[in-house]
Each structure stands twice: as C-alpha cells, then as structure tokens.
Structure 1
Amino acid sequence: MPRALLSVTDKTGLADFAAGLVEVGYELISTGGTLRHLRDAGLPALGIEEVTGFPEMLDGRVKTLHPKVHGGLLGRTDLPEHAAAMAEHDIQPIDLVCVNLYRFEEAAAKGLPEAETVEQIDIGGPSMLRSAAKNYERVAVVTDAEQYDDVLAKLKAGGLSVDDRRILAASAFATTAAYDAAIAGWFVEQTADADADEEAGETADDAAFPARLSPSFEKRTDLPYGENPHQRAAFFVEPHPGPETLAAAEQLHGKGLSYNNLLDLDAARALIREFDAPACAVLKHTNPCGCAEHEDPVTAFQRAYAGDPVSAFGSIIAVNRPVTAALAEAICETAGFVEALLAPGFDDDALDLLTSRPVWKKNVRLMSLPGLLDAAPVTTDLRRVSGGLLVQDRDEAAVDPAEWECKTDRQPTAAERADLIFAQRVVKHLKSNAICYVKDRQLVGAGAGQMSRLDSAKIAAEKADGRAAGGACGSDAFFPFRDGVDAAAAAGVTAIVQPGGSKRDDEAIAAANEHGLAMLFTGRRHFRH
C-alpha cells in the first residue's frame, strides 16, 4: 500500500484531497493539527509517532526529523543496497508528501515580537519537501492546494509520470527557496535595526544591504508581451505587498494590463503620492506630461490634462481622490484615448458613467487603489544589469522646503514658493536630465531624458508656449553652466529650484541675479535614469 504524509498549515481543500488519496489506495500519515483535521473528517490516518516510534517533542519543533521519515522519502527502492538498509531498519517507503509551511512571511509582515516570529520558521516542512523533491523519480511532492485536483486526477487515471513528479519537485524547491529568502531577509533587517540602534552606528551602513541577496517574488499573471511584441513578460509580486503598492490595486474594468501599462501606472502612483491637496497627474512613457493641484478635483484634472493635451493621447491618468460622477463626466468630456485611470476609489455613479461611454466602454482600465496615500516603509529598487543586480533605496524622501536655501538677491514670493514646491515634486519623477516649468501649481512644460540639460530647458519652453511667464522652474540636478538658467529666464520663469553642487554654481547664481530671478538650492539631487 503506498503511503502519503500530510502536514499542512493551510488546510483548504485538504480533507477532499486526503479522501481522494484513500480512494486510490493510499495509507495516510499525519502530524499535529493536520492529523486532527483528517480524523475529524472521518479519514483513517496514522500519527507520525506511530511511524517513527518517537513522540513529538519540544513544543512540536521535533516530529518529522527522523530516519523513518527521511529514509522513507530519500530511499531509492530500485537500488538493492538502499532496499536492504530500509528493510534492516524497518523503514517503509513514503510515496507522496503534501506539505505547506508555517506562515513565517505573515508573521514577519505583522511585526510580531522577534521570539514569536522565530517560532514561525518551519524546519521539518522544508526538510521533507527537499527530501521528497530530490527523490522525485519515486516520490510526489505537493506544496499547494491548487495542485490537489490535478494530482488526484492523474492518480485516478493511472498515476503520476516522472515528468509530472519533476514539475512538482521544481515547485517544491521554488517554495523552499522563497521561504528561505524571506527568512534571510528578515534576519538581515533585524541585524540592520540592531546596528542602527547602537550609539556609534559603526556598522549600520555596512549592514544596509546583505552580503548575499535572494529576492523572492510570486508570479501573479503572464502578460501578453513585454515592452515590445517579441519580448515575453509576466507580473511578479513580492510577499505581502503594502496597501499603497501597485500590487494592491484592483482592476474594476477594461482590457488586461500590459507590461507598459504596469510601468506607467506605477510611475503615476509614485507621482500622485507627492500631493496632499487634490491633484491629478497625466503620464506618458513613465514621464509626467501633465500635472496640477487644486482644491477642486475636477479643476485639478482639467488643468493637468491641459498641460500637454497632445502628449496626453494614450496616457495614464492618476488622481489622489475618489472619482466622483462630476470628475468622471469631466474626464469623459475632455480626455480622448486613455490607457488607464488610477484612483483611491470610484463612486458607483462614476463607474456607471465611465463604463457606459463608447470610448471607455470596452478598453479603458479602471484601477482602484484604496491605500494609494497610505504611509509606506523605506523600500528598495532592484534593477537588472547584465550579469548582476543593482540595489538602492527608493527615492521616496518627502519634499522639505524648510531645508532649502535662497542663493539669490531676491527671495521668492509666496506664489512663487508654492510653484517651486510643486515643481520640485514633479521634476523628481521626470527622466534625467529633467526640467519642468510650472505656473499656479500646473505643469505647463517638461523636458526629460535628454543628454543635455539645456535641451531639456528648451523642450520644456516649447511645451509651455509662453504659459511659464511668472512661474517656476524645477531641475532634478544642478545646472552645469549658466545657459540653462538663461533658457529658463527666456521662457519667462521668475524662480528656480535646483539641488546646487556644481563647481559653476556661482555662474548660475549670477545669471539668476542678472535676470532678477529667485533661486533656491535644495541640496538633494533627483536623477532618474
């Protein structure tokens, strides 16, 4: 009689799966709460101590770590010496293992005390998975309730093939790898926190990133293609993503999301989080082409879209207030082709309106993210390069005008200061070299992704088309020459915010004074490559 060992934390569908195993002739072995669950369902099952002859002990820390378990999993019955050893020590083969692991990631995400989190580190489960997966030519290993139906169907149809068991083994090793990566990451965080608490803080910087990095993500969905049709693509999510992340967004309507849609939506999400007052952002290819802040969300949208309506064709729109019927009406009347709309929520009347208009009816993706403005922990950016991975803290530092320093003879007016703050929030989300022109908290011109800052200033001026007069200029990095300041003055701006730090800062300041501009230094660069 074949044997199946079942020991799971998530008992969804387990009773039916176990009943199916009994139906095809398996003897069941189980542990702890899983054993009680099976017996409560009326299923015959041996307790693990009946197999090992050894009681569960140390508060359950030791129950399956025994030769009669791992010998039963690892033994190759096709090898005479293995068969002889198993017979000598009364080790019976175990032919199927069904294990899912303690919920360590949930415990870590909840911020439980360290001792409680450590108790959620599963030892026996991963060990059984690895033993069974290594011996996949004989042993089937099941790690997810979603596998139950397929495994049962194949067992009832004559059995699992070696290829079937190899696929299950790959899933098992992926499961244990992700689990170990989560545990390793948590220990690194605890070590970094402890170092940061030390008075001297001598090792805090060194501990910011571990010596070895094993990120773990789970595939949510395959995508039609990548940036271009010839590239494959998929969307993977991190364990327990925060409520403010793109992974937490719910699609309420529209076509499936593409790779580029997801990139643009995340860029829109990051920008709109900069604003406390009602605001709207319009993005194209991850760059803001329109953005505005206004006490009235409808006006904020109208001003944002008017910033560059030509570029807004095929854009992503994000707002930081729930979409009302009035806002939905304004969007339908003003916007042409839009790829997606992201908001903290949608009123029922707004949803009815947006999904009934012919131009929006089938295609436009409506994305609800209730936690859009929730506070977020410091996170990291991961970017592949050939042969490696670049890791850095995300550039999520809040704009703090209190740290800025005026370097010119003239101080900015209150209106100019409001525009400078707005410009700084926008420019950090444009690709370098980045220049933006702002008037009355409306983006009127943007230059991004150019090899020369002067070119970006000229492009922004062309986009502004005279609307920057009396407004502000934001620059993501310092002006290497005074020509960028001259170009901004020619566009009509009267105030500039930039990081400073160039060896020619004096020339830029002198140029600003010549033009009668106010210029503030932030001391913080915002390159975005």
Structure 2
Amino acid sequence: MNKLALISIYDKEGIVDFAKELSSLNYQIIATSKTYEILKYNNLPVIEISEYTGFKEILKGRVKTLHPLIFGGILSFGKEEEGIKPISIVVCNLYPFDKYILSNLREEEMIELIDIGGVSLLRAGAKNYKYVTTICDKNDYPMVISEIKKYGEVSMELKRKLAYKAFNYVSYYDSIICEYFRKLNKEDIFQDYLTLPLKREQKLRYGENPHQVGFYYNNPFINKNFTYLWGKELSYNNLLDINTVYNIISDFNFPEFKDYKLCCIIKHNTPCGIALGETIKEAFEKAFLSDPKSAFGGIVGFNWEVDRETAEKIIDTIFLEVICAPSFSEDALNILKKKKNLRIIKLEKSEDGFEIRNCLTGYLLQEKDKRIVGKEDFKLMTKRMPTEEELKDALFAYFAVKYVKSNGIVIVKDLMTVGIGAGQTSRVDSVEIAIKKSEGRCEGGVLASDGFFPFRDSIDISAKCGIKVVVEPGGSLRDEEVIKACEENNISLIFTNIRHFRH
C-alpha cells in the first residue's frame, strides 16, 4: 500500500519538485484544490481532497480539510483502522495574515485570512509525530526527501524536530492574530496572558560580549524604524545605543525649540553629549564639545537631515561607530561612505510600544516613559527668578537628564550639556562627576536631576561652581532643607513633580 501525503499550502514555491520526489518514492498525494491544480498541471498523480473524502469544499472554501478521513488519518497509530487510511506526511503552510496587518484591509477581509484548517492540520500532525512527518517550511523539503531515500522513512529525531517547528510556527501565527484582536479592541498590553509575535530578523556577531550569543527579533505590527544604509553589520551594543538615539530624537518636540536642530552622542547606552543648534553642524559641534574624550567611538544621532557640511565636519572631527538621522543628503552620504566601517542608519518614526525586561524567573513590562516636562510643569520654589535663557536651559536640561542612567545629573549652558554624571549609587557623587566633566563651564549653568535631592549637600557643591538654576522633581522629606540651601546660595529651584529614573 502506498503511503499517503497530504499537501495543503498557500506558498507553493518548490512544491512541484517536492511532490515529484514523493511520487517517485511511492507516496500517494492528496491535495487541496489550488495545490491540486498546480500538481495536475505538471502531470503529477494527485487526488483532490474532496474526491478523497467524498465531501466538497463548503462555505466558499472555509471548510476544505476538516473531515474525519483526513484527521483520522493524521491522528491514527500508523495503520488503517475503522476504514481510515493513515496519512504519513502533512505539508502545510498558512495564509499570510502577518503580511497584511499593516495594510488598510477591512476587518472583514482580515478575518478571511485567519487559517483554520491549516493550523488544525499542523497541530494534528505535530501531535502525532511518532507516525507523521509534519512540514511547514519549504526549506525542509530536501532534508525530508534525503532521509526517506537514505532510510526508507523519516527518522524519529527529524520528525520530532519538525513537530517542534510546526508548533512554533502555529504559535507565532496565533500570536499575530491575538495581537490583531488586541489592537482591534483597543486593549492595553497588560493582560492576564501575554503573547508576543516576534520573528527572528538577524543573527548578530555576538551579544553584549563576545562570549554571548545575540539575535535581533522584530514585531510585525510595528513598522521597522531603522534602515541600514552602509557599513559593517550592527552589533548588539550598537542596537542598544541606536535605540537610545531614537528615543531622544523622537521625544524631542518643544515649541520653544522649533527653530533648533538636535544632536546627541551616545556611549554605552547613555548620553555623553546632547545639544541644540541653529544648524545641524552647530548642534554636532556643541554636542561633541560636551565631552570630546567620551565621544570617541560613540554613536551620533540627529533629528534633521545630515548635509554635506555636517558630514565633512564629522569625518574631520572624530571616529564614530554609527551615525543616525531621519535622512542624509546625497553629498553627505558620499562623504560618510568614505569610512567603510562607519555604519549609517536611517531612523524613522514608529509606533511607541512598551518596555520588557527579564527579571528573576519572570518578566517586567511597563509603558515607555514618554512624559515630556514642559514649562507648564515648572514650579518655582525660591525667590530668585530665572531669566528667560535660564528657563530654556532648564527645559532642555530636564529633557536631557531623562536619558541618563540613574542617579542622573546633567549640567546645561547655552542649550548644550557641559557635564553629565550618570549611574552612581549616590546622587551627590553624580553631581560631583558632572561638575568635574564640565571642566569649569558650570558658571551660570543649569543643573537637572532625574530624582529628588535627599540632602542639601548637592546644592552646596553646585553653588560653589556657579550653578544658578536647579531643576528636579521634588518630593524628598528634606525638600525644605534643599529649598533653604538654594535660597542661601541665590539659586533658582524648580520642582517638576515628574521623576525620570532610568535603570
């Protein structure tokens, strides 16, 4: 008795050659209508599924394979029982629901792309892997044929691997549909059960360190927000830094700064320089001068098109790993491409998602910190009134400190960071580092803190170097002590009531 192979596929690439091989190995092929037509056209012996079951497709093709002869054959114990012949091979791939989720198809059209029979075939075949070879990937056709030719059948090891692959494929497929309905119903991400549709996009050279394996996975519901234009392949650490650049330039939206361009330089996922300029070149020059030593080997990002003049300045100034911007002029690209190892990345606005981190034996999920503090959030706590220029610096400083690792301190003067203190377990230590980094440029500057000051010591230290405005969230038990220190040192103290921890 010939063994039976059932083929029901949407993507028909490679199926004719595969079916020819199966037929030559004495497999009788059963196929659904469209696949049947292709195989028949190529003069292959094939039985149309409705002929095999004696039951025609119904409901405009919604029901094709859901029949006891089919599922009994797949779920059998490898032998004929109750008049049902066993099916040894199931070949199935699904309607491409994921290809249309970002399209403008109506809900009714999307519903018709939800595969029912195919998912059921794959689940049944994978469950019964001891007796059934389940193939969901056309790249596995040659491997299956090779084993049949070599051993006369597919090995148990390969059948088990293909079963896992089928369940993995179906799980991903179902997670896409689940996410579609979540968005359709405008539900938030924080549900009792969470499924994330993530698809591997590329293998990275390694993870955070050379001894770690790393991959990049993409969510099909979110338009990819970066395009690789030039240079060496991106590393795990490059992608983390690019993400910080993206967050900074996509969050930057102040009416007070509508005539300014922004540049940020990132190193080890934290800023070493952020600045505004009337031109993109000026913004780069100021960001670089924030901390020239740390900027070496960093990643630079812009919120504006990079022009020829800026590209020339970058090339002449410093070695960088990556340059990111919404666009690049043709001249700028030609100049930057002279550095063959410089990675050039085009960044685009995309949907803001959520943040997820592994923690202990579980995962932490939270909304992204998209809260931008404006002048309307400022509450003056001292007698000294800041000047208009100081207020602009305060606004920019509190924006910049949001992206610094906690405890984070930023000193700003003339719309550029002149000192950044990051990642210290003591806030006063971060203040001292920021002052040291400023190299004497604190006089008349603004100091921003991502969290409240627990003691007055940071204020007293800041006053000695000439800080004139301090902006912080407030909320400490010793706020009055901090306010008093500012009054004594003639410093304007602004509370925002918004904290920006970053861990």
What TM-score, normalized by structure 1, do the two folds share? 0.85
CA separation of 1:128 and 1:458: change in aligned 2, threshold 3 A = same
Distance 1:325 1:24 in 2: 64
Distance 1:10 1:509 in 2: 69
Paired position in structure 2 for 1:219: 200
Paired position in structure 2 for 1:49: 50
Deviates more, 1:302-311 or 1:317-326: 317-326
Kept in 1, the 8 Å contact 2:223–2:350? The answer is no
Q: Indicate whether 1:285 and 2:284 are aligned.
A: no
Paired position in structure 2 for 1:182: 176
Kept in 2, the 8 Å contact 1:435–1:446? The answer is yes
Paired position in structure 1 for 2:277: 294
CA separation of 1:466 and 1:141: change in aligned 2, threshold 3 A = same
Pick from 334, 354, 358: which aligns with 2:317? 334
After the TM superposition, which residues 398-477 of structure 1 pair with which residues of structure 2 at under 5 Å, given as runs? 398-477=372-451
Shift of 1:44: 4.9
Distance 1:34 1:402 in 2: 64
Kept in 2, the 8 Å contact 1:192–1:208? The answer is no
Paired position in structure 2 for 1:209: 190
Sequence identity (%): 41
Distance 2:332 2:150 in 1: 51
Pick from 326, 346, 354: which aligns with 1:380? 354
After the TM superposition, which residues 29-428 of structure 1 pair with which residues of structure 2 at under 5 Å, given as runs? 29-39=30-40, 43-77=44-78, 83-85=79-81, 88-89=82-83, 91-110=84-103, 113-152=106-145, 160-191=154-185, 193=187, 209-244=190-225, 248-254=226-232, 256-275=233-252, 277-336=260-319, 338-356=320-338, 360-361=339-340, 363-369=341-347, 371=348, 374-377=349-352, 379-428=353-402
CA separation of 1:66 and 1:300: change in aligned 2, threshold 3 A = same
Q: Show CA shifts across 1:429-452 (max 9, x none).
A: 111110101111111111111111
Distance 2:23 2:429 in 1: 73
Distance 2:135 2:229 in 1: 31
Shift of 1:164: 2.4
Provide the secondary structure at the position in 2 that maps to 1:273.
Answer: helix
Shift of 1:310: 0.9
Provide the secondary structure at the position in 2 that maps to 1:310.
Answer: helix
Provide the secondary structure at the position in 2 that maps to 1:311.
Answer: helix
- Aligned residue-pair number: 495
Kept in 2, the 8 Å contact 1:188–1:210? The answer is no
Shift of 1:399: 3.8
Shift of 1:181: 2.7
Distance 2:43 2:387 in 1: 79
Provide the secondary structure at the position in 1 that maps to 2:292.
Answer: coil
Distance 2:195 2:292 in 1: 43
Distance 1:209 1:511 in 2: 43
Q: Show CA shifts across 1:359-386 (max 9, x none).
A: x33x3322233x1xx2524x21111012
CA separation of 1:37 and 1:402: change in aligned 2, threshold 3 A = farther
Paired position in structure 1 for 2:490: 516
- Amino acid in the other structure paired with 1:474: A
Kept in 2, the 8 Å contact 1:106–1:240? The answer is no
Shift of 1:351: 3.1
CA separation of 1:3 and 1:404: change in aligned 2, threshold 3 A = farther
CA separation of 1:15 and 1:520: change in aligned 2, threshold 3 A = farther
CA separation of 1:119 and 1:397: change in aligned 2, threshold 3 A = farther
Shift of 1:308: 0.7
Deviates more, 1:18-27 or 1:91-100: 18-27
Q: CA RMSD in A?
A: 2.6
Kept in 2, the 8 Å contact 1:252–1:368? The answer is no
Distance 1:95 1:324 in 2: 62
Paired position in structure 2 for 1:501: 475
Distance 1:70 1:423 in 2: 65
Deviates more, 1:151-160 or 1:215-224: 151-160
Kept in 1, the 8 Å contact 2:6–2:87? The answer is yes
Kept in 2, the 8 Å contact 1:466–1:492? The answer is no
Q: Which runs of 5+ in 1 are unaligned?
A: 78-82, 194-206
What TM-score, normalized by structure 2, do the two folds share? 0.90
- Amino acid in the other structure paired with 2:243: D
